[in-house]
Structure 1
């Protein structure tokens, strides 16, 4: 950094906050970089091509001056608030903003009345932007419904929580849900480079040499969150400029934020999505994927007992009788993790997850009990055969026979529920059952599903 640039930076943080030329640079840096470089047009907006790419319906609507009542749903830092403001700019509509966390019913009524006045005077509906709309209770949502139905305003809400679970169905039925995805590393690199070279709103005033490796590192570790990526960049730049560095390298970013941002919330969609990926990876016999999703849950602070319980269920539902030891191992792992805790418990969970992923699979036990319950739902409730009742007569004790088995009826009406697979230990089970019962000798009934 040149002497002039160093002085410029130092002046931006002096006691008066005034730099040469009267510019208050300190006040500039009091506004976070993500807010300063927020896009204002569709051309500047980065990412969400599935919504805003050329020819996509939402883009066509906006370019035609139309904004539908909508809910923008997605993780933090994906551009929800930015998109709302771009929508208002592109369609040249008045934007009224309110936060659902702090909004009162009286404030909502005031905004609805203001929106009605704007429509009367201009002929165009104003956009009412409600951030974190899922916080609204039923009474608050009812204030909006009549105005939304009449077109007195255009409702645009944003939420990080799944709107299909968190938002009143009557309000949701009057809006289109647009889902925003985490930004790709390539998207984030574009955003970071623009911020670095923007002399008016970004960090271009410092004329720094920022390595490609640093930009890539921040983009890769920001978890698809543009806000997080820009905050990390700004912190690294200001920390480096403060000591007179002209070039900012990868190590500067690593020292400031060595860990990747983890997108995982035990109370939100990630909880269900990641555990689903974990289960499906084990079911698909992919130990690498299973361990990765296990790591995601552990890094996100998931309850290890919850993970252990799901593996216990999996051991019977998906491995089952193809490998009966799987349930024994899962039970042992659950007890061991509860006893040991973290961080060592991660090794036990990993061992169990890998074993379950690699084990031969059968869901015959799962299907058998569901078929039996389905039979009862149909009303097929059989009477217990007389010889099986506690004080009945005629029961033959199997162990009195050298084969430890005797042919006798155990249901009044014979019905198949268990259809063994041909994997692992179940091959042995099939052979034994075929030697005992004719119904298991029918090949079409083996390994059904």
Structure 2
């Protein structure tokens, strides 16, 4: 029986189910077969006898802490755990002192830092000398991309292992384990879950092992309190307060999903575009943020191939502002489908970036005299606006051969219309006007 600081012992029945089910060996771990299978990287690392610093990157509830504990057990090392959410420099110093004491006794130390991305640069740097000296083996856990959230110096000294969400089949294994543990000592046989409720629970957990185990415990307790001996899908739905998919509004899951939505629209796949839109709405994304991104897609990926796309995107945004959720979300869906089906062009997007770079590189070139405004007598005397040709007075309403760039910069061509949608006609028009320019230059020569 476990020890308690005040009462001496802890009743196992009071230990959270997730802790009671925590694997005691690698063979008990469910999931992560790409790392723990025969001859896979982590399996090899465990059997090597030589621990190395590493970072576990993956969503919550998939075993990062468990694997760190198992590594300490495997190497008979002292295990020190700290959370970057609650910890600080003092905790790091205390860990160093404990590691030095263990080293004096001839024992290794594994320092586990949960949510290491929460530590700032100075705090992360504090680990470096001790990692390099071998005082302890560093294991960090993060839900965020280490490339952006972990200092490059620390990242270079640790191997990154990407952990994956558990599959439905793996979650089903955990549900069976949880029920077996809960019902093991029950004189009445405990609470039974039918097959449909197990499938529903696995889907609800969304790849999170801790979430599914906690849900089994909560639902079982609720069923027992309601005098039920069996849980079906209908009752499970009422027992679970809400169905929230994994969604971090500021993390990688967020940006991965908006990236998938944008690329699905760009790839002209309306069904995939709708799926990612609904995934994000279901996960709690702010529809106003999605509306802004949809407008961006209309500008960046459709452009002048179909100018109506921008109108529809802006209209969808306005409709959402008027109706709110859930009714206004349909307007966003309509905009996403239209954008996915519209002709695609990034010609304006590319032209803008090239012109922007050109303007930055060439400084503040003066405006040609004939293009300058002349609202005063002095400006007119200085020649501002002199010889300017008013396009509406010219044939075809076009001043053929006229120049509009600063002197000496030539006439760059950044905008290249695509042969798709309205841009095909825009391209024809520009070629016609360039033909007039050529004729004007030949007459002048």
Sort the TM-score into its range (normalised by shorter chain): 0.7 to 0.9
* Mapped pair 1:68 → 2:52: yes
- Return the match for 2:398 from 390, 395, 405: 405
With over 3 angstroms needed to count, the CA separation of the structure-2 counterparts of 1:438 and 1:214, relative to structure 1, is same
- State the Cα distance separating 1:387 from its structure 2 match: 3.2
For the residue of structure 1 that corresponds to 2:85, the secondary structure is: coil
Q: Within 2, Cα distance between the matches of 1:171 and 1:297?
A: 33
- How far apart, CA to CA, are the structure 2 residues paired with 1:415 and 1:99? 56
Alignment deviations for residues 122-178 of structure 1 (CA, whole Å, 9 cap, x no partner): 2x4211122222333455434432221100111112222333333333333322222
- 1:404-427 superposed Cα distances (whole Å, 9 cap, x missing partner): 223122245122111110111112
| Aligned mates of 2:436, 2:134 — CA distance in 1 | 66
| Cα distance, 1:67 vs structure 2 | 2.2
Tell me the secondary structure at the aligned position of residue 129 of structure 1: strand
Deviations 1:216-273 (A, max 9, x none): 1111111111111111112222333345544332223222127433111212112211
**1:63 Cα deviation (Å)?**
1.2
- Residue 31 (structure 1) aligned with residue 15 (structure 2): yes
**Counterparts in 2 of 1:135 and 1:395: CA distance versus 1, 3 Å:** closer
Query: Which structure 2 residues correspond to residues 39-438 of structure 1 after superposition, within 5 A?
Result: 39-122=23-106, 124-198=107-181, 202-206=182-186, 207-208=189-190, 209-257=192-240, 259-379=242-362, 384-390=367-373, 391-410=384-403, 411=405, 413-438=410-435
RMSD: 2.5
Q: Distance in 2 between matches of 1:42 and 1:405?
A: 77
Q: Distance in 2 between matches of 1:210 and 1:349?
A: 39
Asked if the contact 2:55–2:139 (Cα under 8 Å) also holds between the matched residues in 1, the reply is: yes
**SS of match in other structure, 2:60:** coil
Cα displacement string for residues 73-99 of structure 1 (whole angstroms, at most 9, x for unaligned residues)? 221111111111121222322212223
C-alpha contact 1:434 1:440 (8 A) present in aligned 2: no
Instruction: For 2:118 and 2:387, locate their aligned partners in 1 and report how far apart those are by CA, in whole Å.
Output: 67
Moved more, 263-272 or 300-309: 300-309
Alpha-carbon distance in 2 for matches of 1:44, 1:378? 61
Q: 1:388: Cα distance to partner?
A: 2.8
* 1:96–1:111 contact (8 Å) kept in structure 2: yes
**1:415–1:292 CA distance, 2 compared to 1 (3 A):** same
- Give unmatched runs, 5+ long, in structure 1: 1-23, 442-449
Q: 1:154 to 1:364 in 2, by over 3 A?
A: same
CA contact (8 A) 1:128 1:153 kept: yes
Q: Which shifted more, 413-422 or 333-342?
A: 333-342
> Is the contact made by 1:51 and 1:58 (CA closer than 8 Å) also made in structure 2?
yes
Aligned residues: 413
Q: Deviations over 1:297-318 (max 9, x none)?
A: 2233323332222122211111
**Which residue matches 1:11?**
none
> In the aligned structure 2, how far is the partner of 1:163 from the partner of 1:128?
18
Structure 1 239/341 Cα, relative in aligned 2: closer, same or farther at 3 Å?
A: closer
Inter-partner Cα distance in structure 2 for 1:147 and 1:258: 46
Deviations 1:165-219 (A, max 9, x none): 3333333332222221211111111111122224xxx433343543222211111
Deviation at 1:337, TM superposition (A): 2.2
**Residue-by-residue CA offset, 1:20-39 (whole Å, 9 max, x unaligned):** xxxx9x94343221111111
Q: CA deviation at 1:439?
A: 10
Deviation string, structure 1 residues 322-360 (Cα, Å, up to 9, x no partner)? 101111222222233233322322122111111111111
CA distance in 1, matches of 2:234, 2:314: 44
Asked whether the 8 Å contact 1:112–1:144 carries over to 2, the reply is: no
Distance in structure 2 (CA, Å) of the matches to 1:137 and 1:369: 37
Is the partner of 1:205 in helix, strand or coil? coil
- Shift in Å at residue 100 of structure 1? 2.6
Moved more, 267-276 or 407-416: 407-416
Provide the C-alpha distance between the structure 1 equivalents of 2:276 and 2:21, rounded to a whole number of angstroms: 34
Residues 32-81 of structure 1, C-alpha deviations (whole Å, 9 max, x = no match): 21111111111111111222222112210111223211121221111111
* Cα gap change, 1:148 to 1:387, in 2 (>3 Å): same
Q: Identify if the C-alpha distance between structure 1 residues 99 and 430 changes in structure 2 by more than 3 Å, giving closer, same or farther.
A: closer
